Amino acid sequence: MPTKRMKPTSPGRRHKIAATYSEITKKTPEKSLLAPIKKKGGRNHTGRITMKNRGGGNKRRYRIIDFKRQKDGMVATVIGIEYDPNRTCRIALLQYEDGTKTYILAPRNVTDGAQLLSGPDADILPGNCKILRQIPLGTLVHNIELQPGRGGQMVRSAGASAQVMAKEGNYATLRLPSGEMRMVHMDCRATIGEVGNAEHENERMGKAGINRGKGRKPHVRGVVMSPRDHPHGGGEAKSPVGRRKGPVDRWGNKAIGSPTRSNKRTDRFIVRRRKKK
């Protein structure tokens, strides 16, 4: 998907780089595959704000995506590539031989009329879905399950792909987009190919109003607050953080360099971490 640089007819368009949407072939979504999205504005069930700088934004409806791809042996035809406001990649509308319609993440180089298949009889072609046991080494995959039958959970953003590096016993080793090497059970499903819309990373908002439409409110830096509102606040004029502990959040927790992932139950599946300890 190519991008285009806007002409500087206004300050908001001077630095904007937007998508051309040339790959989209269907403008209106499938009504039977829509669900409402209730806005929370960063608030929890008690009404307190637990996620700051959220709220507003354009009204959207969720597109129900088939992350499981369990209709084995039934050919599906791509009848449209659509825009999805809830994710960075495009989505493809499939129609199976029995008339059922579903959405999937649109793989790269898959367009209208493509024939897709799931199961052991599927070829190693973009958009087809197989278990890792049946996928040869070196193949690029996306929409990968972490537990058999649970549905794809990894490698789903625009332009992302993982590579099958090795197989040993009941587990396959994958190299994820972050550089992490992780073992996944070979009965887990994965879709062949890369996720489409790889040029998404080249887009630029151009103006703050674009982010407001996405529900992202302005973020106030801690160094411009008062000492009672943030540990970085206070001082004369522009003052540095000036803490031996380094940058912290408003509650005093370390903000840079501190690990945010802690799941000892699954650490044994990580062969090589994305960051060296």
DSSP the chain: --EEEPP-SSTTTTT-EEE--TT----S--GGGEEE----TTB-TTS-B-SSSB------EEE-B--S---TT--EEEEEEE--TTSSS-EEEEEETTS-EEEEE-BTT--TT-EE-BSTT--S-TT-EEEGGGSPTT-EEESEESSTTS-EEES-STT--EEEEEEETTEEEEE-TTS-EEEEETTSEEEES-BS-GGGGG-B--SHHHHHHTTB-----GGGS-TTT-TT--SSSS-----TT--B-TTS-B-SS------TTTGGGEEE-SS--
Domains of the chain and any CATH numbers: 3-201+262-272 (2.40.50.140)
Cα dist from 193 to 82, 139, 150, whole Å: 19, 8, 20
Contact 194, 140 (CB under 8 A): yes
Taking the C-alpha atoms of residue 223 and residue 161, their distance in angstroms, rounded to an integer, is 38
By the 8 A CB rule, do 186 and 132 touch?
A: yes
- Give me the pLDDT at residue 112, please: 96
pLDDT averaged per 10 residues, the chain (length 277): 91 95 96 96 96 95 97 97 97 97 97 96 97 97 97 97 97 97 98 97 95 95 94 93 88 87 91 81
pTM of the entire predicted model: 0.91
Instruction: Report the alpha-carbon distance of residue 123 to residue 145 in Å, rounded.
Output: 19
Phi, psi of 81 (to 5 degrees): -110, 125
pLDDT in the model for residue 187: 97
Distance CA 161, CA 151 (A): 16
C-alpha pair distances (Å), 102 with each of 79, 96, 121, 190: 10, 8, 20, 17
63-90 tens-digit pLDDT: 999 999 999 999 999 999 999 999 999 9
Q: Are 46 and 34 in contact (CB under 8 A)?
A: no
User: Looking at residue 97, what is its pLDDT?
Assistant: 95
Q: According to the model, what pLDDT value does residue 1 have?
A: 60
To the nearest 10°, report the CA torsion of 104, 107, 110, 115.
-50
